[in-house]
Amino acid sequence: MASPSLSSLVLFLSLFLLLSGPILQIDGLGVGINYGQIANNLPSPSRVAILLQSLQINRVKLYDADPNVLQAFANSDVEFVLGLGNEYLYNMTDPNKALTWIRTHVQSYISQTKITCITVGNEVLTGDDLQLKSYLLPAMQGVYYALGSLGLTTQVTVTTAHSIGILGNSYPPSSGSFRPDLAEYLQPMLNFHSQINSPFLINAYPFFAYKGNPDQVSLDYVLFRPNPGMTDPNTNLHYDNMLYAQIDAVYSAIKQMGHADIEVRISETGWPSKGDPDEVGATLENAAAYNGNLLRRIQRKEATPGRPSVPINVYVFALFNEDMKPGPTSERNYGLYYPDATPVYNIGLQGNLPQFYTHSSDTPRTQLVSWIILYIYFSRFFLIKDESRCKN
């Protein structure tokens, strides 16, 4: 009598797990990834869609609005941040051109493909083109008003991505401030962020801080490994890694300009697995430590000491090694994956080559469900055996 009710309980549990599985998986890993395409050997977007599904990565940042990518991810769970390159800024200050761009690149896809954000320009304020800097906010506004006229501002937000170099001071984090010469651009831009409730994005690479000063900067501190860390003398907050200190320095800089209501997110961070002889720290081991430890902190929904209620929001750079990027060797070696979709190093992401082709994902949950199904299957034999014994 006990056995059938036990097996129906198991059946109920396994059905529950099976049904709840996909719902829980919508959460994914929480980490976002930059899908850069400056390469001539990357897999097709539809194969990339399969790879990302096997990795349970469902937040992707593009540097453009590649129609092939948006098409390949139709009806998927993946949320996209689209990029408008710096060469578009001038045109986006023209309301008609902004409207045409949004119609073509966002409105045409958004019923099938989730588009949640547009970054207008990349690292404009740390460049030296003064005209481009003056177009940045008007371009962001042009894109926002175009979205508004199509009724898309509740789904899609507008921002831009800055280099951490916009900070004039970053230490200690409570004294973070922007470069004084950028205030004329940043003050009205922060007012705009606040008005439209959009996040402030930073590209931050503790790798560069280490590379520039390996004798002074602790490798463990930048790689999220156990280390004494540092305590901010003004707040008594303790920092055990450089990325969190940089994020809180940006919050302080924003606060200095009168805003406490704007969220800081990391639009790029990463570590190269290879570099030129003078690129100290660019190794496979360090890249695996940086990205692996960061991934685990994201999965634990960690927050920075200064904003303990706001889990860090990060897009790792990058999905693939990109062979056509100019510059030092490190520039072509930031990828988590080689172009053939094999991992550059293991950071505990679950996708691998067979799964890349078979579409399956070997998560602990699917393993558990498999074991329960096996249990139900075999418990039937035992029940039949029991019954036959009773008859005897």
Q: Considering only residues 73, 88, 244, 334, which one is a binding residue for ligand NAG as defined by CB under 6 A? A: 88
Closest-CB residue for ligand NAG?
91
Q: Quote the least distance from Cβ 189 to ligand NAG, whole Å.
A: 22
Return the SS3 of 184: helix
Distance separating alpha carbons of residues 329 and 321, to the nearest angstrom: 11
User: How far apart are the C-alpha atoms of 58 and 315, rounded to whole Å?
Assistant: 11
Q: Considering the complex, state which of residue 121 and residue 351 has its C-beta at the smaller distance from ligand NAG.
A: 121
Is the Cβ of residue 90 or residue 171 nearer to ligand NAG in the bound state? 90
- Count CB neighbours of 189 within 10 A: 21
Task: Name which of residues 97 to 116 contact ligand NAG (CB under 6 A).
Answer: 97
123 classed as catalytic = yes
Torsion of CA 285, 313, 52, 61, to 10 degrees: -100
Task: Tell me the window of 86-94, 293-301, 311-319, 336-344 that interacts with ligand NAG (CB under 6 A).
Answer: 86-94
Give the integer Cα–Cα distance in Å for 198 and 203: 16
d(C-alpha 30, C-alpha 4), whole Å: 40
Q: In this chain, which of 76, 91, 361, 379 binds ligand NAG, going by CB under 6 A?
A: 91
Span from 46-54, 85-93, 173-181, 368-376 in contact with ligand NAG (CB under 6 A): 85-93
Q: Which single residue is written with the structure tokens 């651009």? A: 185
Stretch that binds ligand NAG, among 83-91, 195-203, 226-234, 343-351 (CB under 6 A): 83-91
Residue (88 or 251) nearer to ligand NAG, CB? 88
Quick one: tokens of 104?
């073509």
Q: How far is the CB of 84 from ligand NAG (least distance, A)?
A: 9
Q: How many residues bind ligand NAG (CB under 6 A)?
A: 4
Helices 130-149 and 183-196: angle between axes, nearest 10 degrees: 10
Q: Which of 1, 23, 75, 87 binds ligand NAG (CB under 6 A)?
A: 87
- In angstroms, give the least distance from the CB of 245 to ligand NAG: 37
Q: Is 258 helix (H, G, I), strand (E, B) or coil?
A: coil
Nearer to ligand NAG, 87 or 215 (CB): 87
What is the nearest approach in angstroms of ligand NAG to the Cβ of residue 97? 6
State which residue, 94 or 240, has the beta carbon closest to ligand NAG: 94
Q: Does 131 bind ligand NAG (CB under 6 A)?
A: no
Ranges of H-type helices in the chain: 2-25, 45-55, 67-72, 89-92, 95-102, 130-149, 183-196, 206-212, 219-222, 242-256, 284-299, 353-358, 364-391
- Which of these ranges, 44-52, 58-66, 84-92, 146-154, lies near ligand NAG under the rule CB under 6 A? 84-92
**Of 258, 257, 265, the residue nearest 307 (C-alpha):** 265
Provide φ and ψ at 101, rounded to 5°. Answer: -65, -45
Pick 88 or 109: Cβ nearer ligand NAG: 88
Give every CB contact of residue 324 below 8 A, 6+ residues apart in sequence.
38, 39, 40, 332
The contact set with ligand NAG (CB under 6 A) reads 87-88, 91, 97
**Which of the residues are catalytic?**
123, 268
